[in-house]
Structures are given as structure tokens and as C-alpha cells.
Amino acid sequence: MPIAIDKLTELGGHRYSALPDDQKRALAVAAALEVICAKASGADATSLKVEFGNLSTYADQVQEALKSK
């Protein structure tokens, strides 16, 4: 299992919500990078440039998805 996803699974929703904001962001960025890596297996340089340009947006989406309702 990829590292960021493994760590999020380990933490569970309640412990994630107790982390400081910088640690939450680091996990979200790591998870977003894993998504990019998965998509990159057949990608060309232009696609990777676009994906890395979307990194912050992907991390924002991961953080939003992990917020407790």
C-alpha cells in the first residue's frame, strides 16, 4: 500500500482531525502525489507538468474529503 494512504488508514478519521494543520497538509500532499504517480505510468512530460500544476488542488480536495462531517 502506498505510504500516504497507509498512514491515513492507520490514523483513522478521528486522529487525523487532531493533527496540526501542517501535518494534515503534508499527508494530503503525499496522497495527491501518489495519485499523480499512479496516473504517470504512461504519461508524457506535458501531462506530468499539468498534473504537478494541479498538485495543490488535489491536496485541497484530499483535505476536504478528510474533514469530519
CA distance 45 to 68: 37
CA distance 33 to 31: 5
Mean pLDDT of 10-26: 77
In the predicted model, is pLDDT for residue 55 greater than 90?
A: yes
Question: Residue 54's pLDDT band (boundaries 50, 70, 90)?
Answer: very high
Question: Residue 36's pLDDT band (boundaries 50, 70, 90)?
Answer: confident
**Of residues 2 and 33, which shows the higher confidence score?**
33
Task: Quote the domain boundaries for residue 61.
Answer: 3-66
Mean pLDDT of 18-26: 88
CA distance 30 to 3: 8
Answer whether 0.75 is exceeded by the pTM. no
CA distance 4 to 28: 8
